[in-house]
Amino acid sequence: MGYRAMQFACCCGEPPDQILEIGLTSDAKIVVHCWCSKCQRVFYMSEALDQCRQECPPPDAEADSLSASVDARFLRSVGIAISA
């Protein structure tokens, strides 16, 4: 599974020291509450989930296949039978 890191910054320009919580709104937005130690304040950002989907990286079939193979090998090593 590929992913792209989300970049967060306070209005002062500094990245947050902590992400306090992540949530979803009733109008289909993701909300991220953060703490900025430079400003000593909590701030939040929100973005529509449709916009988030547009910013998702394309699927990486090779990485997904490799990950599934590694997962299957691990599960077999701990005695869990899986079907192919």
Contact criterion met (CB below 8 Å) for 4 and 57: yes
Provide block-wise average pLDDT over 10 residues at a time, the chain (84 residues): 81 93 95 94 93 84 75 88 76
- CA dist., res. 2 & res. 15, Å (int): 23
Contacts 24+ apart (CB under 8 A), 23-28: 24/49
Q: Which pair of structure tokens corresponds to residue 78? A: 């701990």
- What does the pLDDT read at residue 71? 86
